[in-house]
Amino acid sequence: MNSILRLNHLEFHRSPEPLPEIGPDASNSPLNSDRSLGRILVIRGGAIGDFILTLPVLAALRRQFPRTHLEVLGYPHIVQLALAGGLADGVMSIEARALAGFFAVKGILDETLADYFASFHLMISYLYDPDGVFRINVARASGAEFISGAHRPDEKGALHATEVFLRPLERLAIFGADSVPRLGLEMSSHKPAGWPPALGFQTGSECPQSPRLALHPGSGGERKNWPEHNWAELMRWLADHTEASVLLVGGEAEGDRVRRLAALLPADRVEVAQNRPLVELATRLRRCRTFVGHDSGISHLAAALGLEGLILWGTTNQSVWAPRSPRMKILRHEGGLDALTVRQVRQELALLLNRHSAHLRS
Domain of 130, CATH number, reads 3.40.50.2000
- Provide the 3-class DSSP secondary structure of residue 49: helix
Task: Inform me whether the pLDDT recorded for 19 exceeds 80.
Answer: no
State residue 134's pLDDT score.
Answer: 98
State residue 272's pLDDT score.
Answer: 94
If asked whether residues 291 and 165 sit together in one domain, one would say no
Single pTM value for the model: 0.85
> Does residue 197 lie within any of the structural domains?
no
Which tens digits make up the pLDDT trace of 53-106? 999 999 999 999 999 999 999 999 999 999 999 999 999 999 989 999 999 999
Q: Residue 201 is which amino acid?
A: F
- Cα dist. 230→5, 181, 217, 225, 356 in Å? 43, 30, 10, 10, 24
If asked whether residues 73 and 217 sit together in one domain, one would say no
> Does residue 361 lie within any of the structural domains?
no
User: Could you list the residue range(s) of the whole structural domain that residue 349 is in?
Assistant: 204-355
Q: How many residues does the chain have?
A: 362
> Does residue 198 lie within any of the structural domains?
no
Q: Mean pLDDT over residues 110-117, rounded?
A: 97
In terms of C-beta density within 10 A (0-12 exposed, 13-18 middle, 19 or more buried), how is residue 37 classed? Answer: middle
If asked whether residues 138 and 225 sit together in one domain, one would say no
If asked whether residues 210 and 308 sit together in one domain, one would say yes
Q: Of 118, 23, 32, whose CA–CA distance to 67 is shortest?
A: 32
Q: Of 308, 199, 291, whose CA–CA distance to 246 is shortest?
A: 291
Torsion of CA 134, 138, 143, 146, to 10 degrees: -30
Which tens digits make up the pLDDT trace of 227-260? 999 999 999 999 999 999 999 999 877 878 999 9
The lowest-confidence range among 27-36, 61-70, 141-150, 223-232 is 27-36
